[in-house]
Structure 1
Amino acid sequence: MFDGTEPASGPEREVRTTCPYCGVGCGVIARVAADGAVSLRGDGDHPANRGRLCSKGSALADTLVPDGRLLHPEIDGRRISWDEALDAVARRFSDAIARHGPDSVAFYVSGQLLTEDYYVANKLMKGFIGAANIDTNSRLCMASSVVGHKRGFGADAVPGSYEDFEQADLVVLVGSNLAWCHPVLNQRLLAARAARGTRIVVIDPRRTDCVGNADRHLALKAGSDALLFNGLLAHLAAGGHADAGFLAAHADGAEAALAAARADAPDIAVVARRCGLAEAEVAAFYGEFAATGRVVTVYSQGVNQSSQGSDTVNAILNVHFLTGRIGRPGCGPFSVTGQPNAMGGREVGGLANQLAAHMGFTAAEVDRVGRFWKAPRMAAKPGLKAVDLFRAIERGTVKAVWIMATNPAVSMPDASRVRRALAGCETVVVSDCIRDTDSGRFAHIRLPARGWSEKDGTVTNSDRTVSRQRAFRAGEGEARADWWIVTQVARRMGFAEAFPYESAAEIFREHAALSAFENGGARAFDIGALAAVDAAAYDGLAPFPWPWRAGGQAQQRLYGDGRFHTGHGRAQLLPVTATEPPRSLPDGALLLNSGRLRDQWHTMTRTGLSPRLSAHAPEPCLDVHPADAAARGLGDGGLARITTTAGEALARVRVTAAQGEGTVFLPMHWTDRFTGACVVGRLVDDEAVDPHSGQPDLKRMPATVQPYSPDWTAFLLARHPVEPAHGGYWARRAVTGGHLVEMAGRGAIPDPAAWLPGLDPGGTPVEFRDEARGSLRIAWMEGGPDGERLEACLFVGAAGRLPPRDWLAGLLAADRVDDGARASLLAGRAPGAVVDEGRIVCSCFGVGIKRLASAIRDRRLTSVEEIGAALKAGTNCGSCVPELKEVLRHAHQREVA
């Protein structure tokens, strides 16, 4: 058994664990050789992925490096012992509580925590500190689904399973770029399409990679999803498609919901006009939905991250309740989560408005949890939700905050406010596996937590499947499990009797027991069958869906019997009035949308370590429609300045018809560690939030976009990361052997010593400068017995006059540089023929856009299968298949033209 303190060791072995990325929850088998080398593959027995992995999962071994790890506890940057660090956290939190009360402290946690970590943190805050000021970054992605589920089902429970994707005749993707954000589910859906003809409808303002495989794409106006589904509800009722038997026996509220929908969307013409769609498009979608018995509606952040997200969820649920499309194979609404354990966190009360085991803050529930925990001072009311929590820190009413496994200085809206708040807070504690994060730079106390490969516990994925995450490597340095860290602090705060845990299994047993405590079927979440699981059984626990009640079987699908978890046992249809987007749009402004990329994850502390993942989108790119680009003088591949009321950013421009006119899209992943000025959280304000869930609107921020024309451009290749200090643009990514930093700026070329702090490659610099042409080239070479190797090189020139990077990056990765390469280095010309891949499309096999285009042209390739046979692209994880289809389509369009 691997607990919070013992190292993982032993002979060559294989360990079943779970991927740490999205909410699909794929099973992974880690093979650890005797020398510690790790290789990874998909777990063919895991019900979520059946052996498949996406590009991120396939590259997990690339991220198992010690680079940047937080190895020891620190106070104010000074290394200290664990005892000193734990004593300091306990003392500072206890002092704040004694002086200002329990509401003066807060935890901000993460879907990257395991369920056992979450459980202990929630218990400490709500049961023993006596406040509910513990919220999670799941507030930014899943809170509106939680509200919608609780209002409709009576419980925060996804009713179906992934098998419904394969059993449906129609799958509707609403605000969900499944191809990039949940690639393995997308692969399962496409396999069902190939096998049985499943039809796919995509409802999204953007032409995402899902659209290439869809039968229909509704590129609706941003923020109009609720109206579209209100119109669908009214249309279904008018056409006689309501399931009168289901409504009479199992649902309430249909009349009120229909009255609201009819008033909101009296006919298809009104819906089409307000959604920005053609009437024929809306009518065709409504007709297809009405005519298809098995329909699954999949929704994600495009629905949730809205100021009307909760009501949009209920508008979707209303349609399924009205037609009885729920509780049966291939039917139902389906929320896909963004994080690996967003659902597990909600099971234990990780949100500020929840108690553990899916209980809330009614007097009876507060009493029940308090009695189970034997808690001396149970929180009796909800705590501060994420946006309000950081506002309270800024005001000074919250004196101490503990941030665990997340980076709010990047991910929160109005990130500049968050940074001001943390800078002024009396005590900031950060538990993380990475030392230098944007949030960590504000920490008074840093606590080294274990990373994915070192952690042991459970996670719950989007279809309620609980899986074991098992450690297969020893913790780096003095890193410890998060549950162990919280337990030790709780003991030092005087709560040792309630926090006796010495293993994750002990915590899981208590969690399972609480789920069944005074339940009797009233609450959906119940895993009481495992309340007495011993250490060996816990260690070998196979994936299972909840509920799994004592004496029963694990239940894969909910509500097939028509009994819901509302007080009256009936589904609840909710009246929804769709509102126009509340954002006022100044003249010339565009709506800024943000979201994920295929090969990156959150703030890139893990994926940013992988050269192959970084190659697909090497810089932050702003997607702009051609008409909007032309109107603003923006060129493809140029730079743009994005300005909002919250802040500014610089990004590379990608002109694409996939982006809706009047809108732009910017990825969420870049931080101050990876770029000079492109933190999306600094562009989005925190003014527009859902009034029911507290979830901020991250999809519709008014922004002005203007060209940024640099006087010079540059790139730096170095073995160690460097963060340039100049007022222009820069973006860093991993390459084999080191890092590549792209830069651009205005005015005179600055002195490298001044704008490249931390660049100390050693070795002897060799310099070439041409003042007339405005170019500067420097290479740092380190000599050795086997010859010289390249430590770093810098190329600066007038805008657009720089050599290709690929062959120079190859020199950085080489053990030594031969005479021919050395002579060519400063000349900026490769000594021989070099394959220029261009931007990488297939991360698994390193196939770039230029090689693809050449192969399609020269070998007359006409299908993804032919590309795979010729170049291997698309034959491993399959995540690049939608993009390969787009490349083929554009190549053939050029031929016809």
Structure 2
Amino acid sequence: MDGSGLPETRSTCPYCGVGCGVLLRPDGAGGLSVRGDPDHPANRGRLCSKGSALAETVGLGHRLTAPLVNGTETPWDDALQLVADRFRATIDEHGPDAAAFYVSGQLLTEDYYVANKLMKGFIGSANIDTNSRLCMASTVAGHRRAFGTDTVPGTYEDLEEADLVVLVGSNLAWCHPVLYQRLLAARQARGTKIVVIDPRRTATCDEADLHLALAPGSDVALFNRLFSAIHDSGAVDSAYLTHTEGFVPTLEAASTTDASVTGLTEAEIEAFTRLWIGTEKVVTVFSQGVNQSSSGSDKVNAILNCHLATGRIGKPGMGPFSVTGQPNAMGGREVGGLANMLACHLDLENADHRTAVRDFWQAPTAPDRPGLKAVDMFRAVGEGRIKALWIIHTNPAVTMPDADAVRAAIRGCDFVVVSDVTGQTDTARLAHVLLPATAWAEKEGTVTNSDRTISRQRAVLPAPGHSRPDWAMLAEVGRRMGWTAAFDYESPAEIFREYAALSGIAGQFGRDFDISGLGGLDDDAYATLAPTRWPVSATREGGRFFADGQFYHPDGKARMLPVTHRAPAARTGPRYPFRLNTGRLRDQWHTMTRTALSARLSAHLAEPFLDIHPEDAARLGLSAADLVKVTSPTGSAILRARITDAQRPGDVFAPMHWTGETAPSARIDTLVAAVTDPVSGQPESKAAVAAVTRFDAAWYGFAVSAAPMSPDADYWALARTTTGYRMELAGRAPVDNWETAARQLFQASEAEAMTVIDTARGTARVALFDQGRLIGALFVAPEPVAVMRDYLTQLPGTADTAVLSGRPPADRPDPGPTLCACFNVGVNTIVQAVEGEGLATVEAVGAALQAGTNCGSCRPEIAALLTRIRQREAAE
């Protein structure tokens, strides 16, 4: 124990679908310490940079602590009565389908269960969907088509038992770093080979034996070619084939596929097919690069077809493996959080299943058709067909495709409720009613990770102000709408027991999801529940699925599906010649409502950017650090150019994290069309079309401050620092008086100013002080500002009057941009150690500086830095 005298509590990380265990120790003053749980089966003590920085993201400065109605603080009783009355009036006047819930993988399973029960069982509509629709819906569709239910066949241990791991559309090193470290450990121990299939050369490619930089959207063609090769080489498992249907038409479709659409050479394709076929213990991991596509479901089934044809499924070290994006994306799928599913993997369109669920809930009704999936839901909001909308723990005004249209739809909706931990999101600012929710480390419940392991999240911090758990809000609204008995819950343990009991009914229908063995947990047993992989029933516990050839279609057989290549829906052309890919960064999460609170996480890549190939940059006249305007048929964005040969010519990449709160001109999903997979309803977020031009700014700026800034600029991007904030700025219109502009930016009209202004050259440097302490400093030039940014971020609040030099004094080293976020190690620090101590390997850098020794996701960048240093030394 530390000085607080408080013990550690086991909980689960709130970020990705790896579901890492954490040990939390509150300090008694609202803060806590966080370390990896060495006993949790998902991570065995490891954490990524985001998990390692969790303690830096708690606190009350950003929190919503009381209900707001039209911006006015309102008692809970009045706020919830208003929500109940408005939903009831909407249903009475317009029918149940005029109401909708849009929920999130940030919800705990117990919250999800109550929301699903309220909407589908009592309001009587299936209009509840989740941001997991943007993440894993194509996998759900592919699983259901092939297996008869949404079953993940394997476990994380398969990554360590495989001889070959194929990563398809997955930057595992950055998006699931702990799994990547488990994979690298297996490679070190047993020589596991790694293939990466991705249009981009990502950090994951650093350790790959083969990187296939295929054309965006061409995965079906590649796996159809693999399927044909499986047949031609005699690798089909004839015995296992008796447990499947559809082999012949699937082979016919595969055999007619033209693999040249992949853009790969014949030698690359043959190398891949030989390696896959010749390695029995193969795991194919797939993620958003597969799912986020107008043909995502077909991509999933093309992968599943290959594993079914070879019988390489459900056995140690073999099988297809979908890795989820959110901490409880799986829990949402299990509980029926998608508009086309019932709870516990029961089928919404199966009358017997509907009756069973309705009777179990003693509900007045159950919808007999799927509700609106996310894209269609917000389209219906915009058209006025949905008139009452409750959004929970997600930010669709930023994250949905065609985000400007979605923002306008929410703004125009008759009644919008938002439950969140903060009111400082693009979506929360559109709410009529804003409800304060408890956050991670304040709430109790369960989550399910990517390999079906159910883990507890536990509360160790007090709920701030008047915030409440989501299940409690939803249940209270249910009671106020007249369904008192159905929503008379007193704890998440009680909800979990009901959910587990319902899963027993699903088990009786022969469904895969059955945790009825946990239905008898009393409150104490629930409180101490250890990580548990489902199913948990009288007949089965945990393990893998499908090695025995038993599936969940009525005849017990799997289905192979004939699928054909379909190019991305949007076509490039003279007006929009680029293919735009979007995705995540190593150290940020979704729209940064949590990770942006950590200065350490914000230091790695502090502003939005566009990766573009050098050939394309040269053709457009772009230089490194230029700003570019990116336009598509649905919107535009301004981003910083990063010129890199990690991109294919003609392809560009931009991260999806920035919002109206952090960089209004960089909301990247404004560029993504609302095109979806016809089966899954998942948007195509990896293959928008775009045009790129240089953003001709009249001036560029960089600023640091002790407090939030108030910019007036065409482009700005804000990030947290250890002393306050940093900001990049640019504008088209000239500014007459930079001292006046700086006072406005820092909201410091009376501060003492130091200035160096050269009107002829168009440069300005302004520092403002209050009682000798630096409030903020602004640096302006007619080109991207050349100052030592990471040094300057340390100065707000100090008495450093040399700030306008823009560089550190000789006796004060500049660590440079953060490369290792886990240990806050800068590029310059590594370079100095390499040159001064003769460090030659990534391992040597880690031994000297710790960089790369925690989650390891910065190791590729360290390796690239070492290569650049060696190349520079060789040229000297």
Residue 379 (structure 1) aligned with residue 363 (structure 2): no
State the partner residue of 1:267.
Answer: none
User: In the TM superposition, what are the counterparts of 1:384-423 in structure 2 within 5 Å?
Assistant: 384-423=372-411
Paired residues for 1:575-586 under 5 Å: 575-586=562-573
Tell whether 2:353 aligns with 1:365.
Answer: yes
Show the counterpart of 2:869: 891
CA distance in 1, matches of 2:407, 2:787: 38
Q: Cα 1:894–1:537, aligned 2, differ >3 Å: closer, same or farther?
A: same
Q: Distance in 2 between matches of 1:476 and 1:756?
A: 34
- 1:792 corresponds to: 776
Deviations 1:150-203 (A, max 9, x none): 111111111000000000000000000000000000000000000000000001
Q: What corresponds to 1:4 in structure 2?
A: none
Residue 545 in 1 paired to residue 539 in 2? no
1:521, CA displacement in angstroms? 6.2
**Counterpart for residue 164 of structure 2:** 170
User: 2:152 & 2:873 partners in 1: Cα distance?
Assistant: 47
| Counterpart for residue 604 of structure 1 | 592
Q: 1:750 to 1:192 in 2, by over 3 A?
A: farther
Distance 1:765 1:567 in 2: 78
Query: Which residue, 692, 696, 713 being the options, matches 1:705?
Result: 692
Q: Is the 8 A contact 2:608 2:658 kept in 1?
A: yes
Q: CA deviation at 1:368?
A: 0.9
- Once the two structures are superposed, residues 517-556 of structure 1 have per-residue CA deviations (whole angstroms, 9 ceiling, x without a partner) of 153361000000011210000000000111111x245212
Cα distance in structure 2, aligned partners of 1:848 and 1:307: 40
**What residue number does 2:616 align with?**
628
Contact 2:779 2:785 in 1 (8 A): no
| Aligned counterpart, 1:244 | 238
CA 1:441–1:191 in 2, change beyond 3 Å: closer, same or farther?
Answer: same
Q: How does 1:568-579 map to 2 (within 5 A)?
A: 568-579=555-566
Counterpart Cα distance in 2 of 1:83 and 1:654: 51
CA deviation map 1:17-56 (0-9, x unaligned)? 0000000000000012344541110000000000000000
Partner of 1:859: 837
Is the deviation greater in 398-407 or in 874-883?
874-883
Quote the Cα distance in structure 2 between the aligned partners of 1:53 and 1:632.
41
Aligned ranges for residues 719-798 of structure 1 at < 5 Å?
Answer: 719-726=706-713, 728-749=714-735, 759-761=746-748, 764-768=751-755, 770=757, 771-783=759-771, 788-798=772-782
- CA shift, 1:744, in A, is 1.3
Moved more, 884-893 or 659-668: 884-893
> How far is 1:652 from its partner?
0.7
Equivalent in the alignment of 1:43: 37
| C-alpha distance after superposition, 1:573-613 (max 9, x if no partner) | 11111123332211261100000000000000000011110
Q: Do 1:173 and 1:299's aligned partners in 2 also have CA atoms closer than 8 Å?
A: yes
- 2:335 corresponds to: 348
Report the counterpart of residue 260 of structure 1 in structure 2.
253
Aligned residue for 2:484, secondary structure, equals: helix
Q: CA distance change for structure 1 residues 750 and 696 in 2, over 3 Å: closer, same or farther?
A: farther
Q: For the residues of structure 1 that align with 2:664 and 2:84, how far apart are their CA atoms? A: 36
Structure 1: distance between partners of 2:475 and 2:97: 20
Name the structure 2 match of 1:443: 431
Distance change (3 Å), C-alpha of 1:779 and 1:546: same
DSSP-derived class of the 1:393 partner: helix
**Does structure 1 residue 680 correspond to structure 2 residue 668?**
yes
Shift of 1:849: 2.3
Q: How many residues align?
A: 869
Task: Please state how far the C-alpha of 1:750 moved relative to its aligned partner.
Answer: 5.9
Which residue among 287, 292, 316 is the counterpart of 2:274?
A: 287
- CA pair 98-765 structure 1, distance change in 2 beyond 3 A: farther
Report the equivalent of 1:330.
317
Which residue pairs with 1:869 in the alignment?
847
Partner of 2:68: 74
Of the structure 1 ranges 602-611 and 863-872, higher mean CA displacement relative to structure 2 is found in 863-872
Aligned to 2:581: 593
* 1:647-702 deviation per Cα after TM superposition (whole angstroms, max 9, x unaligned): 1111111111111111000001011111130111111110x210000001001111
Kept in 2: contact 1:529–1:552 (CA 8 A):
no
What residue is the counterpart of 1:850 in the other structure?
828
Distance 1:612 1:33 in 2: 21
1:484 pairs with 472, 478, 489, which one? 472
Mapped partners of 1:399, 1:838: distance in 2 = 51
**Matches of 1:394 and 1:755, distance apart in 2:** 40
Counterpart selection for 1:61 from 38, 49, 55? 55
Q: CA deviation at 1:761?
A: 4.8
Query: Using a 3 Å threshold, how does the CA distance of structure 1 residues 622 and 723 change in structure 2: closer, same or farther?
Result: farther
Question: Quick one: distance in 2 between partners of 1:558 and 1:868?
Answer: 40
Which residue type is aligned with residue 863 of structure 1?
A: T
Q: Normalization by structure 2: what TM-score?
A: 0.97
CA displacement at 1:437 relative to structure 2: 0.3
2:96 matches 1:110: no
8 A Cα contact 2:11 2:456, kept in partner: yes
The gaps in structure 2 that reach 5 residues or longer are: none
From the superposition, tell whether residues 370 and 657 of structure 1 become closer, same or farther in structure 2 (CA, over 3 Å): same
Q: Does 1:512 align with 2:506?
A: no
Q: CA deviation at 1:96?
A: 0.7
1-structure distance, mates of 2:426, 2:28: 37
Q: Is the 8 A contact 1:433 1:449 kept in 2?
A: yes
- The residue aligned with 2:544 is 557
AA matched with 2:530: A
C-alpha distance in structure 1 between counterparts of 2:744 and 2:337, whole Å: 40
Indicate conservation of the 8 Å contact 2:506/2:514, yes or no. Answer: no
Cα distance between partner residues in 2 of 1:680 and 1:554: 43
Structure 2 equivalent of residue 297 of structure 1: 284
Distance, in Å, in 2 between the alignment partners of 1:544 and 1:215 is 34
1:529 has 2:517 as partner: yes
Query: Closer, same or farther in 2 for the Cα pair 1:74/1:759, shift >3 Å?
Result: farther
- Return the alpha-carbon distance in structure 1 between the equivalents of residues 580 and 322 of structure 2: 24
2:278 and 2:854 map into 1 onto residues whose CA distance is: 37
* Aligned-pair CA distance for 1:782: 2.9
Structure 1 contact 164–331 (Cα < 8 Å) conserved: yes
Structure 1 residues 36 and 584, CA, compared in 2 at 3 Å: closer, same or farther? closer
| Partner of residue 213, structure 2 | 219
Say if 2:344 and 2:506, in contact at 8 Å, map to a contact too.
no
Contact 1:212 1:886 in 2 (8 A): no
- Superposition deviation, residue 791 in structure 1: 2.5
Structure 2: distance between partners of 1:104 and 1:202: 45
* Contact 1:724-1:755 within 8 A present in 2 as well: no
What amino acid sits opposite 2:735 in the alignment? Answer: I
Deviates more, 1:324-333 or 1:572-581: 572-581
Give the equivalent residue in structure 2 for 1:805.
789
Partners of 2:183 and 2:815 lie apart in 1 by 31
TM-score, normalization: structure 1? 0.94
Identity, in percent, stands at 53
CA distance in 2, matches of 1:35, 1:707: 49
Deviates more, 1:334-343 or 1:375-384: 375-384
C-alpha separation between the residues in 1 aligned to 2:77 and 2:684? 42
Answer yes or no: is the 8 Å Cα contact 2:710–2:747 preserved in 1.
no
